[in-house]
Amino acid sequence: MGLTNNDIFKKLRVAHQLKDTDIVEICALVDFRVSKSEINAFFRNESHPKYIECGDQILRNFLNGLIIHLRGPMPKKQDKK
């Protein structure tokens, strides 16, 4: 049994010491809107009635936003003339 998207999300949150507001801001860097209540649902216990499974799209957008958050935006490519 491998890691789920929720497990990966939890581990990244702890490793980078992120709060819910930080995660909302990181997702906004890639124009992906997510609410604090949705984020809380990802970090709940699987047996909790309000638990939501983290989808690939949410994790992908968070990871792309985290790259921008940590490294800064990607520099624009210059035309070779």
Structural domain includes residue 36: yes
List the domain range (segments joined by +) for residue 36: 5-71
| Structure token digits, residue 22 | 């930080």
Question: Is 78 within a domain?
Answer: no
Listed in sequence order, the DSSP H helices in the chain are 5-15, 20-28, 36-42, 56-71
The structure's pTM equals 0.83
Residue 18: its H or E element: none
Q: What angle do CA 22, 57, 17 make, to 5 degrees?
A: 25
Domain assignment present for residue 32? The answer is yes
Q: What is the pLDDT of residue 2?
A: 86
Residues 6+ apart with CB under 8 A from 44: 50, 51, 52
Q: Is residue 31 part of a domain?
A: yes
Does any domain span residue 47? yes
81 falls within a domain: no
Q: How many domains does the chain have?
A: 1
Q: What CA–CA distance (Å, rounded) separates 17 from 2?
A: 23
pLDDT by residue (tens digit) across 10-35?
A: 999 999 999 999 999 999 999 999 99
Each residue of 26-78: pLDDT tens digit?
999 999 999 999 999 999 999 999 999 999 999 999 999 999 999 887 778 77
